[in-house]
Chain A
Amino acid sequence: MSDHVSDPSAPAKRPVQLFRNLSAKIASIPMILTALVVFVGGTAWTVVHSFTSSRMLPKLEFVGFDQYERLWSTRRWMISIENLAIYGVCSLILTLLIGFTLAALLDRKIRFENTFRTIFLYPFALSFVVTGLAWQWILNPDFGLQSVVRDWGWESFAFDPLNNSEIVIFGILIAGIWQGSGLIMCIMLAGLRGIDEDIWKAARVDGIGTVKTYVRVIIPMMRPVFITALVLIASGIIKLYDLVVAQTNGGPGISSEVPAKYVIEYMFRAQNLGQGFAASTMMLVSVIVILIPWAYLEFGGRKRG
């Protein structure tokens, strides 16, 4: 940004680019190395080894796409992918919707706002393992929600998602949304507070309804906030692991398995590093497939505009 600020005391000599802001460059070396060695290097190492027949120990015996062929013909992997897709889409939409709605309600200058904000944010302070266990108990048909409603007199009430392989992923989804929407609400609330009061006044003068103001004016203005929220939710979705382990451990059967769990199980329990690496590479690919078009739209578009 400040590339062309010239130094008046040495007008003729052009400073050597490499040594400009030297201390800043030295200070960032550790982070650059970390990024290169740990992230890029580690990723490359993993991808390379996913083409080998590594079992317990990594070794470089290349077998081509064998690990990937096996991966995509494994039923457990297909179920994992399907579960992640359902969880991902629902979690993305519902978390944003609930987060924004709660934030908008809190923003209407209600009483006890602090109390409500704390209550809504509190689940986020719990670890996924605690959330998972708590919801495992709540959804337990013998002493959780189902038995409470039956005790109230609705004898035929049935809500037992964790023991039904058709809908078990929605049982996990409930816990995930309960945990995650508080944080999104806080981010949205911060975004709403950043909107100028005058906008509201102007809308009121023009006679635009509250809901319409939100949808047509406020939400488009909150674009950066939405993107932050989106990134946070998406990263939470792709690494979904501990919630499942705590709540169902992949059961009943293998009906609530997720890709991250497949990776861990095959790397460590099945002692088949090659297969685990192939699965984690597929996770990386899926992230990239989503990320690249988005980054293109987001950054490429802005340059032209």
Chain B
Amino acid sequence: MKLTTKLMAATALVAAPAVQAAELEVTHWWTSGGEAAAVAELAEAWEAAGNTWIDGAIAGSGGTARPIIISRIIGGDPMAATQLNHGRQAEELIEAGLLTDLTEVAEANNWAEIINPPSLLEACTFEGRVYCAPLNIHSAQWLWLSRDAYETAGVDVPNDWNEFVAAAPALEEAGIVPLAMGQQGWQQNIAFGDITVAIAGVDNMLAVLRDKDADVAAGPEYTAVFEAVATARELARDSNVQDWNLATNMVITGQAGGQLMGDWAQGEFQVAGQVAGEDYECLPGLGLNQVLDTGGDAFYFPVIDDEETRAAQLEMAEMLVSPEVQVAFNLAKGSLPVRGDVDLSAANDCMQKGLAILASGDGILPSGDMALSQDSTIQVEDLMAEFWSSDMSAADAQERYVDIISSAD
């Protein structure tokens, strides 16, 4: 495979020595309907410049794809470009010198000024050098609500988490599950993160996630968080689906009142033909705390010992952040652009809410990916998986969370 590619490249070089056409293999895990459409936008823009895009889509979620991508890079068979979530996932690859330094592109295109929020570029920066091109923003702090469910139960659609909890008994009486929840650790961890932001606030969350302050994690604010999560657990008792999109489907069909999930859930509502503000409602920061994290996707370029490939990699990095690509890609994917100076008037109500929060600038926090290592994240996910599926008390869960935070690095 690798040899064939090389031979083909060699043949192409011999056949057309004058054309500066670059052929880059790009790996990613965007395989669902909306995601594939978004990738097609990238490939189109890349090929419009006279280059060739070799698509290396890996089916399955990031959890499946990431080990494959990383072992290819470590194993000496690197692709030319790859999607990864920005944050600490790539730290060690950078330390080992396996990723291409993009600083010159970043400086030439003034990324430091245009990329909003700046934390995205910080997540790509390691010891002062830039190693990835941020592509989009996904945030996890959303409560999605079904208008249908609340009309059936005869109560108003809640405006924040507290109203949501207060309205739950009415929903239960009408035979509706108040909170849809997929029984998987990462989803339960998202719900935990959402409730943390809403109840403990940004400062406390940052103290725990970024500064690893175990005292704050053991403090009264976090006690309130764990009690709220315990309440959420009761509200989700009758939800026994596994996958997140099945849980979203419960909200779409009105079997459930709401779901705590990232903005990618919006793709499901769109596919089902639902309209934001009419069929479903969204509450960023659970309506209590208007904040969004700024996780998302970025492209990394593994080091390939070939000057021409390196030039093409830099060219692609430049293209990914360009205004045209940002608009086309993010409208297709339903995510938010990484620069504030592009026009996204075609976006729907919920995306507009997100854009407004980003534009205001104070409701932005780094995602857990950026602050906690993958190792600690898995430990928290395990704790949440156990907590949600058992009768563990909020105090016990908090105690174990404090242990994880105090040993985190």
- B92 A254 Cβ-Cβ under 8 A: no
Shortest CB-to-CB span from B96 to chain A, Å, is 6
Most buried by A among B92, B240, B377, B386: B386
Judge whether A83 is part of the interface by a CB distance below 8 angstroms.
no
Give the nearest-CB partner of B67 in chain A: A268
Selecting from A122-130, A210-218, A270-278, the interface stretch reads: A270-278
Q: Contact at A271–B374, with CB atoms within 8 Å?
A: yes
B388 near A55 with CB under 8 A, answer no
Q: Bound complex: CA of A55 vs CA of B184, how far in Å? A: 24
22 A-B pairs within 8 Å (CB atoms) are namely: A55-B373, A57-B92, A57-B96, A75-B382, A75-B386, A75-B400, A76-B386, A251-B184, A252-B389, A253-B183, A253-B390, A254-B185, A254-B389, A255-B386, A255-B390, A265-B378, A269-B374, A270-B379, A271-B70, A271-B89, A271-B373, A271-B375
Which one of B184, B185, B385 has the greatest number of beta carbons of chain A within 10 Å?
B385
Contacts of A272 in B (CB 8 A): 374-375, 378
Chain A residues within an 8 Å CB radius of B74: 57
B360 interfacial contact with A, CB 8 Å: no
Report the separation of the CA atoms of residues A268 and B67 in the bound assembly, to the nearest whole angstrom.
6
A165 and B390 contact, Cβ closer than 8 Å, known pairs A254-B382, A271-B374: yes
Residues of chain B in range 380-403 having any CB-CB distance to chain A below 8 Å: 382, 385-390, 400
**B387 to chain A: closest residue by CB:** A253
Q: Check B92–A55 contact: CB distance below 8 A.
A: yes
Q: Are A253 and B92 in contact (CB under 8 A)?
A: no
Identify the closest chain A residue to B95 (Cβ). A57
Q: Quick one: closest A residue to B383, CB to CB? A: A75
CA distance A70 to B63 in the complex (A): 23
Point out the residues of chain B lying under 8 angstroms from A252, CB to CB: 183, 389
Contact B375–A76 (Cβ < 8 Å): no
User: Which A234-289 residues have a C-beta within 8 angstroms of B?
Assistant: 249-255, 265-266, 268-272, 275
Residues of B within 8 A of A268 (CB): 66-67
Instruction: Give Cα A43–Cα B96 distance, bound, in whole angstroms.
Output: 25
**How far, in Å, is B394 (CB) from chain A's closest CB?**
16
A190 proximal to B (CB < 8 A): no
Whole-angstrom distance between the alpha carbons of A272 and B387 in the complex?
A: 23
B4 at the interface (CB under 8 A from A): no
Does B110 touch A at the CB level, under 8 Å?
A: no
17 extra A-B contacts, CB within 8 A, seeds A57-B92, A255-B390, A272-B375: A56-B70, A56-B93, A75-B382, A75-B386, A76-B386, A251-B242, A251-B385, A251-B389, A253-B388, A254-B382, A254-B389, A265-B378, A268-B66, A268-B67, A269-B67, A270-B374, A272-B378
- Which chain A residues border B67 with CB–CB below 8 Å? 268-269
Residues in chain B near residue A265, CB distance under 8 A: 378
A163 at the interface (CB under 8 A from B): yes
Task: Say whether B345 faces chain A, with CB atoms less than 8 Å apart.
Answer: no
Residues of A within 8 A of B382 (CB): 75-76, 254
Main secondary structure of the interface of B (DSSP, over half): helix
Contact A269 B378 (CB under 8 A): yes
* Inter-chain contacts of B374 with A (CB < 8 A): 269-272
Complex CA distance for A272 and B89, rounded to whole angstroms? 11
Chain B CB count within 10 A is highest, among A55, A75, A163, for A55
Q: How far is the CA of A108 from the CA of B251 in the complex (A)?
A: 59
- Cα–Cα distance between A265 and B382 once the two chains are bound (Å): 11
- Given the contacts A70-B407, A76-B382, A253-B385, A55 and B375 also touching, CB distance less than 8 Å: yes
CA distance A275 to B400 in the complex (A): 19
A255 touches B96 (CB 8 A): no
Q: Decide yes or no: A266 and B385 within 8 Å by CB, A56-B92, A57-B92 being known contacts.
A: no
Per CB-CB distance, the 7 closest pairs between chain A and chain B, nearest first, are A253-B389, A270-B378, A252-B389, A268-B67, A56-B92, A272-B375, A253-B386
A270–B96 touching, CB < 8 Å:
no
CA distance A55 to B408 in the complex (A): 13
* Interface residues on chain B, size class: 20 to 34
Shortest Cβ gap from B277 to chain A (Å) = 34
Taking A270-B375, A271-B375 as contacts, is the C-beta distance between A255 and B93 under 8 angstroms?
Answer: no
- How many angstroms between the C-alpha atoms of A271 and B90 in the bound complex? 10
- Across the two chains, which residue of chain B brings its CB closest to A79? B386
Which chain B positions have C-beta within 8 A of A163? 240
Which A residues touch B390, using CB under 8 A?
Answer: 165, 253, 255
Q: Output the residue of B66, B67, B375 with the most chain A CB within 10 A.
A: B375
Q: A56-B92, A56-B93, A57-B96 are in contact. Are A165 and B378 (CB under 8 A)?
A: no
Cα distance A255–B392 when bound, in Å?
Answer: 13
**What residues of chain B lie closer than 8 Å to A269, measured between beta carbons?**
63, 66-67, 374, 378
A255 to B93, CA, bound (A): 34
The reply to whether B92 and A165 contact each other, CB–CB distance below 8 Å, is: no
* Complex-state Cα separation, A250 to B63, whole angstroms: 15
A163 to B389, CA, bound (A): 9
Known: A268-B67, A269-B67. A254 touches B385 (CB 8 A): yes
Contact check, A255 vs B389: say whether CB atoms are below 8 A apart. yes
Min CB–CB distance B67 → chain A (angstroms): 4
B88 closest partner in A (C-beta):
A271
Flag A63-101 by CB within 8 Å of B: 1 or 0 each.
000000010001110000000000000000000000000
Distance to closest chain A CB from B263 (angstroms): 23
C-alpha spacing A249/B382, complex, angstroms: 12
| Nearest Cβ on chain A to B58's Cβ, whole angstroms | 14
Task: Give the residue among A251, A255, A266, A271 with the most B Cβ atoms within 10 A.
Answer: A271
Given the complex of chains A and B, what is the CA–CA distance between A249 and B381 in angstroms?
A: 14
Q: Report the Cα distance A165→B389, complex, angstroms.
A: 8
Alpha-carbon distance between A56 and B96 when the two chains are bound, in angstroms: 11
Report the separation of the CA atoms of residues A155 and B74 in the bound assembly, to the nearest whole angstrom: 57
For A54, the closest partner residue in chain B by CB is B92
Q: In this complex, what residue of B is CB-closest to A255?
A: B389
User: Among the interface residues B183, B242, B377, which one has the most CB atoms of the partner chain A within 10 A?
Assistant: B183
B378 partner residues in chain A, CB cutoff 8 A: 265-266, 269-270, 272
Complex contacts, B183 vs chain A, CB 8 Å: 251-253
Q: How far is the CA of A270 from the CA of B404 in the complex (A)?
A: 14
Q: How far is the CA of A275 from the CA of B96 in the complex (A)?
A: 20
Interface of chain B residues 91 through 123 with chain A (CB within 8 A): 92-93, 96
